[in-house]
Amino acid sequence: QVHLVESGGGVVQPGGSLRVSCEASGFTFRNYGMSWVRQAPGKGLQWVAFIQSDANKEYYSDSVKGRFTVSRDNSKNTLYLHMSGLRADDSAVYYCAKGIDPAVVTVFDDWGQGTLVTVSS
Partner 1 sequence: DIQMTQSPSSVSASVGDRVTITCQASQAIGTWLAWYQQKPGQAPKLLIFPASRLQSGVPSRFSGSGSGTDFTLTISSLQPEDFATYYCQQANSFPLAFGQGTRLEIK
Contact set with partner 1 (CB under 8 A) = 35, 44-47, 50, 59-62, 95, 100, 104, 106-109, 111-114
Q: How far apart are CA 36 and CA 112, in angstroms?
A: 10
Select 15 or 43, whichever has its Cβ closest to partner 1.
43
Identify the burial level of 62 via C-beta atoms within 10 angstroms of its C-beta, where 0-12 means exposed, 13-18 middle and 19 or more buried. exposed
**Closest separation between CB of residue 120 and partner 1, Å?**
22
Select 43 or 76, whichever has its Cβ closest to partner 1.
43
Select 32 or 95, whichever has its Cβ closest to partner 1.
95
**Closest separation between CB of residue 109 and partner 1, Å?**
5
Select 80 or 108, whichever has its Cβ closest to partner 1.
108
Task: Name, in order, each residue with C-beta under 8 angstroms of 109's C-beta and a sequence gap of 6 or more.
Answer: 98, 99, 100
Which residue from 121, 118, 120 is spatially nearest to 20, judged by alpha carbons? 118
**Closest separation between CB of residue 75 and partner 1, Å?**
26
**Closest separation between CB of residue 114 and partner 1, Å?**
6
CB 62 within 8 A of CB 46: no
Which residue from 54, 56, 1, 53 is spatially nearest to 27, judged by alpha carbons? 1
